[in-house]
Amino acid sequence: MLKVNLDRSTGIAILEPVGELTANDFSAAANTIDPYIDETGELKGIIISTKSFPGWHSFSALIAHLKFVREHHKKIPRIAFVTDSPIGKFAEQVANHFVGAEIKHFEFCDLDASTKWILD
């Protein structure tokens, strides 16, 4: 499951994976985020906040995740990975080469710092 909290006052969406991610999780996230982007022109950023990355339920869930990234990375200028999982550092180093958004890793306890970075 993927909890999606869209803060309309800051233009930041916080995504919190709880358990393995499914293809439906990414459809639901798009259904929350896309109307906001259509209305305002952009989302200032996404924060992915999880103590440890739970993985994907299936290969189709991974494909849905990649499709979500492909369809949104040019519309969202900053993405913060707020996690103690090693995937946060990996994502920062690797994804910066493949996506249009600027990506930065923060320790799980640094949610406030990630919000500040997105808004700066």
User: What digits encode the pLDDT tens for the residues 51-74?
Assistant: 988 878 998 888 888 788 778 767
And the tokens for 80?
């913060």
The string of DSSP letters for 5-50 reads EEETTTTEEEEEE-SSB-HHHHHHHHHHHHHHHHHHS---EEEEE-
User: What digits encode the pLDDT tens for the residues 14-50?
Assistant: 999 998 999 999 999 999 999 999 999 989 999 999 9
**Amino acid 85: pLDDT:** 78
3-state class of 63 per DSSP? helix
d(CA 41, CA 18): 29
Based on the number of CB atoms within 10 Å of its own CB, is 24 exposed (0-12), middle (13-18) or buried (19 or more)? middle
Q: Where are the domains of the chain?
A: 2-119
**Amino acid 39: pLDDT:** 95
Strand order in the sheet with 2-7: 2-7, 12-17, 45-49, 78-82, 102-106
Other CB atoms within 10 Å distance of the CB of residue 28 = 15
Phi, psi of 50, rounded to the nearest 5 degrees:
-160, 135
CATH class of 2-119: alpha beta
d(CA 117, CA 120): 5
Q: Residue 87 pLDDT more than 80?
A: no
**Amino acid 102: pLDDT:** 85
- Mean pLDDT confidence for 69-90: 79
pTM higher than 0.85: yes
